[in-house]
Each structure stands twice: as structure tokens, then as C-alpha cells.
A and B are shown apart, each in its own frame.
Chain A
Amino acid sequence: MKPIIEISRLCKNYGKHRAVNQLDLSIQQGEIYGLLGPNGAGKSTTILMLMGLSEPDSGSISIDGIDAKRQPLLIRKKVGFLPENVAFYEDMSALENLIFTCRLNGITRDQAMKVSQSLLNKVGLEGRGQQKVSTFSRGMRQRLGLADCLVKDPRVIILDEPTLGLDPIGVAELLELIKDLNEKEGITVLLSSHHLHEVQKICHRVGIFVEGQKLAEGTINSLADQLFGPQSFTLELEAYSSDNELITPEQIKRLTKGQYEILKVLEKSGCLLLTMSQENVSGIAKLLIEQGYRLEKLLPKKPGLDEIYQRYFQDHPQPLYA
């Protein structure tokens, strides 16, 4: 299937600084794709170029078969965009703000009223339409921003740091809303974030961005494989011997010798971290219990984006400045 967003060999320089470097990206219809990276990694620049708001130095971008360089207006007609720190006209009501956006998109005044009202309902701002935006909380503004994107009835929406500055409940609600839009209306979502857990929660695929380059891409699990190698597998173990002492690394190594391969054992406060080549939770549990240990905890740890992220920056403390 042809990808709905396709970027190839995209470059953008600001003076000598290379903001985006040879970026290739393709996103399929119906996906939620997360652009993940630290501040200044070139996420926003990429998004600006996708919206035709900034001119790429080289490379090509197409969304839904439209060339962003040649037909930026058409892109902006069809793609919803939530900028970072979205701002509304404070002295206008939420409804008026939406109506203005509608009218900029060529919707007539009567129609705009209906569209805006239904969008407010959709993002959970029922009854708040007449309120001035200056009275809105940050979470409500983000919702209104989402409604603002949906004015165009888009197939693709691009969200730049949608969860920035929201409280945990606000984040959860907003993500739920985005997920809903994706599942119920089949809208393809591209979002950028430096907040790992959020991206992890809803994104089907994630691309990690550093210094304008895409370092790795894939589902969270496959990313772990790419960065840690496929052999990595971590268990958190807490077991006590009959005389109530925590099992030592030597003991566990001795126990499993010849049966399971343990690559590394680390002692952490009150437990052990085992790095193994295979997942064998039940086998190890059985072994420990047979040997008379009192097993308190045996927890398989999947590497989250946190670890992936940190792992990367541990390996490359000084990123790729040429």
C-alpha cells in the first residue's frame, strides 16, 4: 500500500546548522506515528516543512499524493495541524475562534456555526462554546486546538507536542481523544513529543530523532531489539534463601548453570537484575522453588522507551556533530 505521508532525503539548514539531515519517513494510512526526540532535534522543523510553512533545502515531501513544496495551500487545506503551544484569540469565544478557522477554510457562515458546534461536542467541550478562550485551562485549549485541526475534515492530522504542559489526567484524556479519532474515523496521526510514556501508550510506530536524523524506527518492541540487540531480556528477581537472606549473584549463576544462560547479573536495592538471552520465567521460578528459595518477585521487564532513550544517550553523550 502506498504510504499516506512520504518524506525522502529531506534536508534543511539554518545557516551552518543542519536542522534536518537526509530524513526518510513513510507513514501508512491509519497509523499513529510518534516522532520522538529531545528538544532541538528537528521535529518541529520537519513538521513545518510537512505543512508547507517552511521551505526544505532538498528532498521531497508528499502527503496523500500532494507535493508539499509545490502545493502548500492544498496541503494546508487537507491536513489538520496543531502547533506547539497552540494559541487562540483570547478575547474571542471558543466558538468564534473555530468559526474563524472554518471561514478561512472556505466554509460559509451558516455552515461554520454547525461545524464548529459539532466539533466542540466531539472534543468534549460541550457548553463551553460561548466562553472566552482566556478562561480556558491548558487542557481545554489543547482540545480546542484538536477541534481546530478537525475543521478541515482531514485524513491526516499533525500534532506538534500535543501533551506539552498538561497534567497527567489531561494527558491521558487528550491521548484517549487522539486514539479515538484514529480508531473511529481512521485519521492518520503524526505526533511529536519528547515525552516517552505518552508516545509509548498510543503510537503504533515510533521514530527516534536526534540531531536531525532518524536513528531508529519501528514498534516499541522492535526498537528495543534494534538498540539492545535481540538477545537482551531482563528479569527482576527477589528471592530469599531458607535463612532469610537475599539470593546472591553467585548463587543464581550456580543454580542456572548448564540450563539457562545468564549474561549479566546486577544487584539493585533489594533485588537482582538478570539479563538473559531467552525468556524463561517459569523455568527459573521452578528451579528456585525446588532449591528451597522463597520466591517473592520474578518480573520480566520489557524495555520501555525510557530505557531505549536513555540507553541511546548513554552511548552517545555527545551526539553526532561532524
Chain B
Amino acid sequence: MKFTNVISKTIPNHYMPKWPRMKPLDFGSLGSDLIENFKALTHNYAPGYLPRGIFRVVVEKEISDHIKSWRFIILAGILILTGIGAVLSAYQTISTSLEASRWEDPFFSLRLFTAAENGLPSFHMLISLMGPLLGIGLAFDAINAEQIRGTSYRVLAQPIPRDYWINAKLIAALAVVSVLLLAITLCVMGSGMILLGAIPSIEEFWRLLGFVVISTFYIGFWISLALLFSIIFKQPATSALASVAAWLFVTVFYSILVTMMGQMVSSMRGGYLVWTRSLMSLLPSQLYSDAVSVILIPEIRSLGPLNTAQTYGAIPSPLPIGQSVLLVWPQITGIIALCLLCFAISYRIYMRREIRSR
């Protein structure tokens, strides 16, 4: 008694926890109460409540759609040919010019992906060319084709939030692309082991994994762009054309423009290289090839020109993987940011649009 008095005196009243008053339990109605509560839980969504696992169902559906489609088979075929081409060209290059240094080269396995000679492109150059095609091919009709067929209408009449639909489109395409890329990369690596006896070290493996991740995001950018066009344009043919036009602009016309502008500006102010470099680095494909080159070729120490003071005293040795990643960190974040930006725009347009049946 005394003790409790002390507590109540020393601790101010409002510090004492107030317990909710318990109702006496009525066991007779407990069962039905439980059932009522359960019903309330399952039949009335509180805002934000959804049965779990539905998003997964949508994604699974999208992935299976991709995998069963002819389009995917064609695109995968192109990618497999890319892989074979890369292996053959690397094989030729290595057997002619790199043979001598092969036992001293600590990154011999990576040469499979980067070796290029006699006009034959390397694997990562091929991916930078084919990646956009893959991304566009997977997503150019993601939204509008279903709208035209009328299937989106029926799905949206189900109890799923609207954004599940578009999120699932992106996630599914990304999943398909990443698995495909990983498979092809591992196949190339494996064939290198068989054909050339090139056993990858753990660092080489991590570098290749980094290459797959960056490539996935690069293709992810093209997926989001195609997704955006598939929302803006009602006809799949139009959105496909728009995506291809964007691709051509980026690969062909933009660099022409940049060269011309660089010449113009540098004739006035000088610094041609700086101008063209900074303008080119707005391009996703430029960002990608920079990032991937540095990741796959450890000897690259800088992306820009170095002056004599910078190279003075430097030992010409390969960079460790951490330093390589650090070197292209801006490029990597740039690619991811472009991908997210494109998706954010499509998301916003999509979510604000009226649903009509056709």
C-alpha cells in the first residue's frame, strides 16, 4: 500500500498509462464476433487494403504472355545470334592478335565480350545496338493493343488498382529482358570456356553481372519509352513507328547534330571535344556504352582526355572493380534516372486518362 502511494506521488498523473477499460468477455457471442470481424476484414477493404498476391498474378500473366508470343521468340533469336556473332568475332580476334598475351592477361574472359577487330562488332556494342530493338519490341503495344482489343477494360473492372496494370507491364518486360540477357551472357562465357579455355575469375564474374544489370536498365529505358508511346498513341503501328523513330534519332541523327553543333560552337569559343562530349552524354546509348566499356575493360582509367599532369606517375595497371564502378557512377545513375523518368511520365498520363471501352 505504502509503495503504491509513493509511486502515485512521485510520478505526475499524466505519466500514468491509461488502460482501456476491458469489457467483460461474453463467450457466448465470441464466435459470431470473430466471424463478423473476419467478414469486416475480408469484405470491406480499408482504403489501401488489398488481398495479397494479386500484383504477382498480373505480372505472371504478362510474363507468360511475353514468353508464349512469337515476338519474343524472334527477339530472343536475334539476341542469340548476337551472342553467337560476338563469340565468333572474339574467337577470331583472340586467336590472331591476343594469343601471345593470353597467359599474362588477368581479364582474358572479359575479352570475349569486348574484343573487336576487322570491323566485327563486340558483344557489348551489339547489345547497345540491339537492346533498344528488344525493349521496343516488348513494349510498343503494351497498353494500346489491349485497349483496342478491349481486354484492358475487363481486367480493370476487377478489384485491382489501376496502376497494377502499368507497373506489371514494366516489371514483366524487365524480368524477361534480365533473364534473357543473363542467359545469353552466361552462354557466351560458357562457350569461351569451351572454345578458348578462358576460366573467369570472380572479379570478371562480378563485372559481367554489372554489365547485365546496366544493360537491363538501358533496355528498361527503351521499354519505358515504348510504354509511353503506347499510352500516347492509340494505334500500335503508330507507337511502334514513334519508338523506332526515337531510336533512329538517338543512334543516327543526334550524333550528326552534335558534331555540327560542336563545330559551330567551337569555332566561336573553342573546346570542340568538351562540347561534343557533354552533348553526347545526354544520350542514353552514349551513357550505356561509356558505362559498359569501363565495366568490361578494367584498363580504362578515364572517360575523357587526360592531361599530362594527370597521367604523370600513374602506373598503367587495370582498375579494381570498385574504382571502375565509381568512374561510371554518373552514367549508371543517369541510365536508371532516364528509365524512371520515362516511366513516371507514362504513369502520370496513364493514371489521369479516362477509361473508355474503345
Residues of A within 8 A of B (CB): 14, 44, 48, 51, 53-54, 70-71, 73-74, 76-78, 81, 83-91, 100-101, 103-106, 145, 148, 160
Not counting A74-B45, A104-B160, a sample of 12 additional A-B residue pairs whose C-beta atoms are within 8 angstroms of each other reads A14-B354, A71-B44, A74-B159, A76-B160, A83-B157, A83-B357, A87-B150, A88-B154, A101-B158, A103-B57, A105-B158, A106-B54
Whether B157 pairs with A53 at a CB distance below 8 angstroms is yes
- Kindly state the separation between the CA atoms of A91 and B64 in the bound complex, as whole angstroms: 12
Q: Does the CB pair A87–B154 fall under 8 Å?
A: yes
**A70-B47 Cα distance, complex, nearest whole Å:** 8
Asked if residues B157 and A73 are in contact (CB atoms below 8 Å), the reply is: no
Do B357 and A85 touch (CB < 8 A)? yes
- Confirm or deny: B8 has a beta carbon within 8 angstroms of a beta carbon on chain A: no
Which positions 148-162 of chain B face chain A at CB distance < 8 Å?
Answer: 149-151, 153-161
**Closest Cβ–Cβ distance, residue B259 to chain A (whole Å):** 46
The reply to whether A83 and B159 form a contact with Cβ atoms under 8 Å apart is: no
Chain B residue, CB-CB nearest to A75 = B159
Query: Residue of A at shortest CB range from B44?
Result: A74
Closest B residue to A145 using CB positions: B154
- Chain B hits for A81, CB < 8 A: 157
What would be 21 A-B contacts, judged by CB atoms less than 8 Å apart?
A48-B355, A51-B157, A53-B157, A71-B44, A71-B47, A73-B45, A73-B159, A74-B159, A76-B158, A77-B43, A77-B159, A85-B358, A87-B150, A87-B153, A88-B154, A100-B57, A101-B158, A104-B57, A104-B155, A106-B53, A106-B54
Given the known inter-chain contacts A53-B355, A106-B54, please indicate yes or no for A85 contacting B150, CB distance below 8 A: yes
- Verify if B61 is at the interface (C-beta below 8 Å from A): yes
Min Cβ gap A317→B in Å is 28
Mask: chain B, 18-55; 1 = CB below 8 Å from A; 0 = not: 00000000000000000000000001110100110110
In residues 55-100 of chain B, which contact A (Cβ within 8 Å)? 57-58, 61, 65, 68
Task: Say whether, besides A71-B45, A81-B157, A104 and B355 are in contact (CB < 8 Å).
Answer: no
Whether B150 contacts A83 by the Cβ 8 Å rule is: yes
Q: Which residues of A contact B65 (CB under 8 A)?
A: 89
Task: Given A53-B157, A76-B159, A106-B51, verify A86-B354 contact (CB < 8 Å).
Answer: no
With A54-B354, A85-B357 in contact, is A104–B151 under 8 Å at CB? no
B159 contacts A84, CB within 8 Å? no
Instruction: Report B-chain residues with C-beta under 8 Å of the C-beta of A77.
Output: 43, 45, 159
In the bound complex, CA of A189 to CA of B178 (Å): 47
Interchain CB contact (< 8 A) of B158 among A14, A74, A88, A104: A104
Cα-based distance from A71 to B54 in the complex (angstroms): 18
Contacts of B358 on A, CB cut-off 8 Å? 85
List of A residues within 8 angstroms of B43 by Cβ: 74, 77-78
Q: Which residue of B lies closest to A103 (CB)?
A: B57
Closest to A48 in B: B355
Considering the chains assembled together, what is the distance between the CA atoms of A90 and B148 in angstroms? 13
Q: Which residues of B contact A89 (CB under 8 A)?
A: 65, 151
Contact with A along B316-358 (1 / 0, CB 8 A): 0000000000000000000000000000000000000011111
The 5 residue pairs across chains A and B that have the minimum distance between CB atoms: A87-B150, A106-B51, A77-B159, A104-B158, A76-B159
Asked if A83 and B57 make an inter-chain contact with CB atoms under 8 angstroms apart, the answer reads no
**Interface pair B154/A73, CB less than 8 Å apart:** no
Closest to A77 in B: B159
Q: Could you say which residues of chain B place their CB within 8 Å of the CB of A103? A: 54, 57
- Tell me the complex Cα distance, A51–B159, Å: 10
A104 to B156, CA, bound (A): 10
User: Measured between alpha carbons, how far is A204 from B147 in the docked complex, in Å?
Assistant: 34
Write out the residue numbers on chain B whose beta carbons fall within 8 Å of the beta carbon of A76. Answer: 157-160
B54 touching A104, Cβ below 8 Å: yes
A88 to B151, CA, bound (A): 6
Residue in B54, B65, B151 whose Cβ sees the most chain A Cβ within 10 Å: B151
Chain B residues closer than 8 Å to A101, beta-carbon distance: 154, 158
Q: Select which of B51, B149, B154 is within 8 A of A148 by beta carbon.
A: B154
